[in-house]
Amino acid sequence: MQNFVLENPTKIIFGRDTIKQIGPETAAFGQNALLVYGRSSAVKNKIYDQVARSLSSAGVQIFEHGGVQSNPILSHVQQGIKLAKKKKIEVICALGGGSVIDSAKAISAGTLVEHDVWQFFKAKKSIKSTLPLTCVLTLAAAGSEMNGGMVITNEKTAEKFGVGNKKLNPKVSILNPEITFTVPRDYTAYGAVDAIAHILEFYFTTLDKNTPVQDRFMEGLIINIMESCERVLAEPEDYQSRADLMWCATLALNGWTAAGLGMVGFPMHMIEHSLSALYNVPHGAGLSVVMPAWMSYKNKENPGKFAQLARRIFALDHEDEYETARQGIKKLKEWFVKVKSPVSLTEFNIPASDIPRIAENALGLAKLWRLRGYQQKIIENILVSAL
């Protein structure tokens, strides 16, 4: 285990009947609030009404910035920054999943600077301060409710970049599993896939050979994500299963899984971000395509950790370590199929002729994230096995 510092300043309020606390929690940081939300679901499901009522009752003046889309775009963030500056916003409240929260984070950082917020994502400028952010989470997936990461797509350049900074952590996040009852089946599954991908990025890219505590922790989360996802798909209003899935997704990327692992990377996300940027595919769906392909590629180099996952998650154990790992990857892919998450580029109608373009697009993020082992040809080879 490597030296580490673990600090997470986000306050979590978890459970039933907790949305009403968003008003007082937000009011503690300011009276002028920008309410950032998605396109329609929160309004249709009356969650928006509950949040707005709580904010108003706490004396918070609300300025709205709705319309955040899945795979949030830069231009919408820039509009939010312009509004926040005009209205002298003091605090931002996000109502939604990872896309909404990431947009709110970008607005919170961009409002306090004169330069374009995209400079943060290009690593041209560093984040020194942000407006305080509170959240009401509506989707178990990204973990953005308890971390300092954000991802935005520049629709003009077709670049989907992410950046992390501890100042981006929300001050308070409310997690009420009840409000995820109406999440559609496909996005429930995509959220589970996203959470699993976050864990596996850490699990497979650490260079430390002796991480038994973290390994078991991550393996346990994966098992719980898979089991709770299946239960939720069978019974969408099963509170306990929704609660398990929601908390696992938060734990997957709040710093605890990566503690003590040393340097890690996000190569699967790096490749998937190009799929999202170029084709606007749902992030989790893109990951269920990329993950088995990347794992199969890396398994040829060093099957040890992949075989360990296969033994502990799927109870597989062949004499040959490589074969154990290969069968484990196959089992994970079969689980993606079981929950109806895509496993091939053809399911997105992406032809093989597009692979060089996708790989070239990924190079920019590979450079920013210092993933030096991923030249265009290697990324192309991974994508070919995802056809």
Q: Nearest Cα to 141, choosing from 251, 10, 265? A: 251
Cα gap 271→358, rounded to integer Å: 8
The domain 185-384 is placed in CATH, from the list 1.10.510.10, 3.40.50.720, 1.20.1090.10, 1.20.1440.80, at 1.20.1090.10
Segment 30-63, tens digit of pLDDT: 999 999 999 877 778 889 999 999 999 999 999 9
Segment 61-111, tens digit of pLDDT: 999 999 999 999 999 999 999 999 999 999 999 999 999 999 999 999 999
DSSP string across 100-117: HHHHHHHHHHHTT-SS-T
Q: Nearest Cα to 196, choosing from 248, 118, 129? A: 248
Same fold, 11-179 and 185-384: no
Cα gap 123→367, rounded to integer Å: 11
| Whether residue 244 has pLDDT greater than 90 | yes
Task: Provide the CATH number for the domain formed by 11-179 in this structure.
Answer: 3.40.50.1970
- Residue 165 token pair: 């900074």
Cα gap 178→263, rounded to integer Å: 37
Q: Domain ranges in the chain?
A: 11-179, 185-384
- What are residue 14's DSSP bridge partners? 175
Q: Tabulate helix, strand, coil % of the chain (nearest 5).
A: 55, 10, 35
Cα gap 155→150, rounded to integer Å: 16
Segment 178-228, tens digit of pLDDT: 999 999 999 999 999 999 999 999 999 999 999 999 999 999 999 999 999
Question: What is the CB neighbour count within 10 angstroms for residue 315?
Answer: 9
